[in-house]
Amino acid sequence: MSYGRRHALHGVDADFLPGAVGLLGPNGAGKSTLLKALLGFVRPDSGRMQVLGMDVVDRPLEIRARLGYMPESEAHIPGVNAVTLVAYCGRLAGLPAADAMQRAHSVLQYVGLGEARYRAVDTYSTGMKQRIKLAQALVHDPDLLFLDEPTNGMDPRGREEMLDLVRDLSGRKGVNLILSSHVLPDVEATCERVVVLHQGRVVAQGPIAELKASSRRVFEIRVKGDVARFVAGLRAAGVECHDPAADLMRVLIGEDRGARDLFALAVQHGVQVRHLRPSEQTLEDVFARVVDEP
C-alpha cells in the first residue's frame, strides 16, 4: 500500500477476529491507512483483503453497507443539525427515511447527544463532534465498526464515557469493532485482542492476555546517581529497560534472575536504589518491546 512513492503498509498479514480488536501503533505506523484500505478508499499495490468474508476490491459497497466508520479527523456534513445529519447518513446507508429518522433519534440518545440533537453540528465542541461521528457510524446498525482514535480531543470524563460506549457496543450489543489508537490504556480497556503496527508492518498480534503473559519478571525501579550509566549497564547485562527518563523506570529481567541481581548491578554502576517493587507486565511493556522503543 503506497501513497505515491511512499510505502504506508507492506507485508501486512493480520486477522481481525470477531469481538473488539485494538489496532495499535505509534503515529504514522499505518493504522489509519489500514482502515482506509479496508474501507476501499485506497487500493493495495498487491495482496488481498477481506472484510466480513468479502473481498474489499470486488465488493466494496456490500462491505460498506455492513460497516460503520468513525474517522480520526473532524468530519461532518456542513450546515445541518445533528439529527438531520445522522438521519441523512442512515438514508445514504440504505435505510428508509422514516426508519433513518427514528434511528437517528435513538442513536443520538445513546451517544449522549439527545439534548443537543437539534443544534447545528458546526457549533459542537470537540467532544460532541467525536460523539456525532460515532452516531453517524452506528445509525445503520453495522456489523463491524472502525473507530479511528475515538477519544481524540476528549476531556477525561468524555473519554471514559466514550470507552463505556465502546465496551457496551462490543460487549452487550454484539457489534464487532476495530479500535485504532495510539493510546494504549484505551485499547487495553476495551479490546480483547490487538494487532500492533510499526512502520507499516505488523509486529505483534493476538489476545492481550497472551501477549502480556511473559516469562520475564518485571520491576519498577527508581535510582539516584548516574542513571544513563546504570541504564547502559542494565542493557549490557541483557535487562530490558523501559521509560528510563521517567521517575520510575520499568525493567524486565529473565525468570532466573531477581531483585538481588538488580541491586548488584546498581552497586556495580555506583547508583543508589531508592525504590524497587515487583510489577506485572502491561500492554505498554509489550508495545515498547515490539516497536523497539527504549
Return residues touching other proteins (CB under 8 A): 3-6, 36, 39-42, 61-62, 64-65, 67-69, 71, 73-79, 88-89, 91-96, 99, 103, 105-107, 109-110, 114, 136-138, 140-141, 168-169, 173-174
Which residue lies nearer to other proteins by CB, 57 or 75? 75
The answer to whether the beta carbons of residues 150 and 169 sit under 8 Å apart is: no
How far apart are CB 99 and other proteins at their closest, in Å? 5
The answer to whether the beta carbons of residues 230 and 222 sit under 8 Å apart is: no
Which residue lies nearer to other proteins by CB, 6 or 48? 6
Which residue lies nearer to other proteins by CB, 65 or 204? 65
Which residue lies nearer to other proteins by CB, 94 or 294? 94
Q: How far is CA 74 from the centre of its chain?
A: 17
How far apart are CB 154 and other proteins at their closest, in Å? 18
How far apart are CB 200 and other proteins at their closest, in Å? 16
The answer to whether the beta carbons of residues 194 and 24 sit under 8 Å apart is: yes
The answer to whether the beta carbons of residues 51 and 67 sit under 8 Å apart is: yes
- Which value, to the nearest 10 degrees, does the dihedral of the CA atoms of residues 219, 210, 49, 71 take? -50
Quote the CA–CA distance of 137 and 89 in Å, as a whole number: 8
How far apart are CB 135 and other proteins at their closest, in Å? 10
